[in-house]
Amino acid sequence: MLQRLAATSVLVGGAVAFVVFVSLPTLRLQADVIGPLMNAARFVPPPPGTDAVRTGRSFVNGQPFQYAIGHASLGVDRVLEHYEQKLGPVSGQPMSRAVRVQGRSGGVVVGAALGPVAMPNGLLSRPQFAEAPVRLNDIARIHVVTVYSETPGAVFLDFMAGDSVRLDSLLPVHGSDAPGADPQGIARPPGLQRLLTIEHGEGMAWSRTLIYRAPDGERATAMFRSAFTAAGWSENPAPELGPVRHLTNGSLESFVGGSGFGANAVVLVVTRLAEGQKR
């Protein structure tokens, strides 16, 4: 149970990083086309007023996840409410549960659609009550929906596991690193454990998001920043980025940030292709 809760928490963090650093495409589709396409892919139906959407696939710790990213004319509150209702319990419908967390300019809704259950034996026979290992979607189809404000309206990201994702191997154990690779040529600060690797896209849309566990998030961020500059990267001290550091070597750019101390300390490194570059 603790492993499942940890997996959900890490995926929320990964989804937030993903939607902030991957730009919304300019694709426009009619609303009557968007809904059926997303339903067929098992995404939550988009909110009313959706005027842009794109679906795709990413790899989280080497395992396939699907996403739908789009733009709606509604504000953040209304979009979050839409997903909370769609993922929350509805009389006569499959069992589900949704949790909503909201800040000033955005928020996250996490929902686990359990599907139809015949009581009492149906629930007890589910794989989570039987022997592990199991596929995540055999337990529930978990959606992590991230929403943030973009005037006018809001951007939303519906992130969910592919059918082959296995819960028992989603997160590293016993202090080992998650599958993936650190930024090439950059010396990782000591004491960090790579918890999450999100690999996304190809061509000019490629990016990699890394989340590390750290003893001290701010100190580890400063050490990572020094490692980048020691490797020849230059820093853009843009004030609007706040505590997040933006560095580039000409062909790649990275955003480095971190916070917390002890068990709650993390460092986030998002690397993507610089403008005009191809992978």
Ramachandran area for residue 174 (φ above 0: left; ψ -120 to 50: alpha; else beta): left
Is the pLDDT at 11 greater than 70? The verdict is no
Residue 23 belongs to domain spanning: 2-169
In this structure, what token pair is assigned to residue 149? 């404000």
Q: How does the average pLDDT of the chain come out, rounded?
A: 76
pLDDT of residue 80: 92
pLDDT band at residue 121 using 50, 70 and 90 as cut-offs: very low
HSE at residue 76, side-chain half, CA atoms within 13 A, is: 16
pLDDT band at residue 173 using 50, 70 and 90 as cut-offs: confident
DSSP string, 45-73: PPPTTEEEEEEEEEEETTEEEEEEEEEES
Q: Give yes or no: residues 29 and 117 share one domain.
A: yes
DSSP 261: B
Give alpha helix (H) positions in the chain.
2-21, 31-40, 76-87, 121-124, 136-139, 217-230
* Averaged pLDDT for residues 81-109: 75
pLDDT of residue 41: 57
Q: Give yes or no: residues 206 and 254 share one domain.
A: yes
Q: What is the pLDDT of residues 42-77, one digit of tens each?
A: 788 889 888 878 888 888 888 888 888 889 999 999
In this structure, what token pair is assigned to residue 183? 């930024």
3-class SS of residue 174: coil
Q: Give yes or no: residues 145 and 259 share one domain.
A: no
Q: Give yes or no: residues 103 and 54 share one domain.
A: yes
Q: Give yes or no: residues 216 and 164 share one domain.
A: no
Whether residue 183 lies inside any domain: the answer is no
Bigger pLDDT: 164 or 115? 164
Whether residue 155 lies inside any domain: the answer is yes
3-class SS of residue 10: helix
Q: Give yes or no: residues 59 and 127 share one domain.
A: yes
Q: What is the pLDDT of residues 223-266, one digit of tens each?
A: 999 999 999 999 887 766 667 889 999 899 999 988 888 767 88
Q: Give yes or no: residues 17 and 95 share one domain.
A: yes
Whether residue 41 lies inside any domain: the answer is yes
Spatial CB neighbours of 235, under 8 Å, sequence gap ≥ 6: 225, 228, 229, 245, 246, 247
What's the pTM? 0.71
Which of these ranges, 120-124, 162-166, 199-203, has the smallest mean pLDDT?
120-124
CA–CA dist 263, 162 (Å, integer): 29
Q: Give yes or no: residues 161 and 212 share one domain.
A: no
**Which residue among 103, 135, 169 closes a domain?**
169
Whether residue 82 lies inside any domain: the answer is yes
pLDDT of residue 122: 41
Bigger pLDDT: 237 or 90? 237
Q: Give yes or no: residues 41 and 129 share one domain.
A: yes
Q: Give yes or no: residues 141 and 230 share one domain.
A: no
Is the pLDDT at 128 greater than 50? The verdict is no
Residues in the chain: 279
Q: For the chain, how many structural domains are there in total?
A: 2
Bigger pLDDT: 202 or 211? 211
Is the pLDDT at 23 greater than 80? The verdict is no
Whether residue 181 lies inside any domain: the answer is no
Q: Which residue, 225, 241, 222, is CA-closest to 233?
A: 225
**Which residue among 101, 134, 169 closes a domain?**
169
Q: Give yes or no: residues 157 and 200 share one domain.
A: no
Q: Give yes or no: residues 121 and 229 share one domain.
A: no
